[in-house]
Structure 1
């Protein structure tokens, strides 16, 4: 979904802000899957979508379509434990299909 990089050099421990851009052709409602991350916060275009945590319950965060724009959208993650970026994926539903 978005290629994220640390905001401050090459971190060696958690508590890192990651930033990247997400290109959207046609904005619409979406769930952002944070399953590859540990514990932290997610912002899109300066709006806090919420907190996520690997052990649950919150691993997918809802992003309303009006908060996105056609073209590049700024994505920022603060992960309290990771120092290497994980993957962020878009999902159509709150729950995983195989769950």
Structure 2
């Protein structure tokens, strides 16, 4: 039996499979309301923001995660990935 968070994450991944970022962001937001300290969900939310061309919001969320836990290397890696991808698509 899946937990509420697992069901919510499955929904998020299903939504991203069809590239409906608005719905995926809404689903990721639901996961974060259930478990605000779930770092993978927070990072995934930021990645969705970046893929939806909401670059500044994505970076702000990730920088907040990095300030909250400076040893969180995964969040730092996602920040770099978003900056790298943003550099390829932004003037």
**Higher RCO (C-alpha under 8 Å, 6+ residues apart):** 1
Q: Which structure shows the bigger proportion of residues in helix conformation?
A: 2
Q: Which structure shows the bigger proportion of residues in strand conformation?
A: 1
Please say whether Structure 1 and Structure 2 have the same fold, judged by a TM-score greater than 0.5: no
TM-score by length of 1: 0.28
TM-score by length of 2: 0.30
